[in-house]
Amino acid sequence: MDMFNAGGPEVSIRSLKKDSMKFVLSNCDLSVANALRRVMIAEVPTMAIDMVEIESNTTVLTDEFIAHRLGMIPLTSFDVDRIQYTRDCTCTLYCPNCSVELTLHVKVNVDIDEMNDATIDKTRHVTSIDLISSDESVKPVTDDKAHPILIVKMRPGQELKLKCIAKKGVAKEHAKWSPVYGVAFEYDPYNKLRHSHYWIEESVESEWFVSPNAQEETPPDPNEPFDYNAKPEKYYMELETSGCMKPEDVVLRAMTIMQDKLGGLQIKLDDEVTGEAQRWGY
Amino acid sequence: MADINMEEEIDSGKVTILPGSLDVQNATFCLADEDHTLCNALRWIVMKNPEVDFASYSIPHPSEARTNVRIQTSEKTTAVDAMFKGLDDLSDLCTHVISAFQEELARGEFEYDEESTF
Ligand SMILES: [Zn+2]
């Protein structure tokens, strides 16, 4: 590792919570930090509802509206490595190796006495709690039992009956598979490198506040000339997960995915070089 | 027909060396299904190699999932070897970040709260 600046990248964790974490990555290039950020957002696989078979829907929302809402519900994905991608599976549409089934059946009965009493709220909230999963490790994220995710509101006499197929996927294909709701990424809070160009009326100092991360850096000296060779060194990262997996696992999986991609490329490049040599008769 | 052939070209094999681009020191590699995520970091690490004169990447069209990486080297190495070294070094770097992250987790010297959300 001697080719990297003094000992290679360093990690310093600031806080770790149930579904968010803050850490500082330092002594590495912007491209590497950005790669980590991009993989966490778009290439860490999770489970999400991908197919919906609606048997009965007499609610006010259309089938496709409900199907879309179901797709956005985060599902616990701690055990996602056990599940295969359907494209790699031997089945044609879905099977237990590459999918998890969830069902929902809510029917609101008409009670004549209740109907005549205007003081009773007759609206039934159909939420993520009503989704019954066939697999204990893949079910809607319901940390806050008092505030589950609302799917549709129903009135007496209406019915919703459906079957959902959850599949493994990555957010490169659809954002519903992203394990994170957001990744905050900051470097150079004083803008010493001038990578940011602030819109101002009179002065940057009075119109733009400096982020809390600036506490870890030395303030710029106004008499110092601009260092055009300077490179960013510290990256302040903060990620918030959907609750589908632990934040530290998102980071670790992301780095492992990077390695897998690199390993795959080495094999493919090897194939190509061998093929090329044969073509030219070496 | 032309469309089908083009798709085959991109799908078949993750890495191709673009025809006509290869002599020993110079090559353009076409990486299917890769984008800025990997190629920018790869470009950086390939350039860290002192025997590499030039390394850069481009995405010819946003609707085609492929990236071209151009490498030119001095006579002490070859473009293909520089690419292999880049892939190796970046993988080592990932290993380093993973172990640094795991050590930091094990050390546990940070604000920790398993229950609260923020
Ligand atoms: Zn299957």
Going from N- to C-terminal start, the domains of chain B cover 10-107
Give the pLDDT of residue B12. 47
Q: Would you give the distance in Å from CA A246 to the centre of its chain?
A: 11
Give the pLDDT of residue B10. 44
Can you tell me the ipTM of this complex? 0.89
Q: Does B29 touch chain A (CB under 8 A)?
A: yes
Dihedral in degrees, nearest 10, Cα atoms A166, A170, A9, B43: 170
Residue of A nearest to B86 (CA): A262
Q: What is the DSSP letter of A140?
A: B
pTM: 0.91
Q: Say which CATH superfamily domain A1-44+178-198+230-282 falls into.
A: RNA polymerase, RBP11-like subunit (3.30.1360.10)
Where in chain A do CATH 2.170.120.12 domains reside? 46-175
Q: Does A3 touch chain B (CB under 8 A)?
A: yes
Cα-to-centroid distance, B63 and ligand 1 (Å): 29
Q: Are B116 and A18 within 8 A, CB to CB?
A: yes
Distance in Å, alpha carbon of B1 to nearest chain A alpha carbon: 25
Give the pLDDT of residue B13. 53
Where in chain A do CATH 3.30.1360.10 domains reside? 1-44+178-198+230-282
Give the pLDDT of residue A144. 73
Give the pLDDT of residue B4. 45
Q: What is the DSSP letter of A78?
A: T
Class level of CATH domain A46-175: mainly beta
Return d(Cα A140, Cα A244) in angstroms, integer. Answer: 8
Give the pLDDT of residue A87. 94
Q: Does B102 touch chain A (CB under 8 A)?
A: yes
Give the pLDDT of residue A5. 55
Query: pLDDT tens, A99-150?
Result: 999 999 999 998 888 888 888 888 999 999 999 999 999 999 987 777 899 9
Query: pLDDT tens, B107-118?
Result: 988 888 877 665
Distance in Å, alpha carbon of A87 to nearest chain B alpha carbon: 14
Cα-to-centroid distance, A162 and ligand 1 (Å): 20
Residues of A in contact with B62 (CB under 8 A): none
Taking residues B35-63, report their average pLDDT: 96
Identify the residue whose tokens are 């673009």: B18
- Residue in A18, A34, A35 nearest the CB of B117: A18
Q: Does A28 touch chain B (CB under 8 A)?
A: yes
Give the pLDDT of residue B8. 44
Over chain A (282 residues), the average pLDDT of each successive run of 10 is 66 94 96 97 98 98 98 96 95 95 96 84 94 96 84 96 98 97 95 94 92 93 92 96 96 96 95 81 60
Which residues, including other chains, have CB under 8 Å from residue B53's CB and lie 6 or more apart?
Answer: B72, B73, B74
Cα-to-centroid distance, A115 and ligand 1 (Å): 47
Give the pLDDT of residue A124. 95
Q: Does domain B10-107 have CATH number 3.40.50.620?
A: no
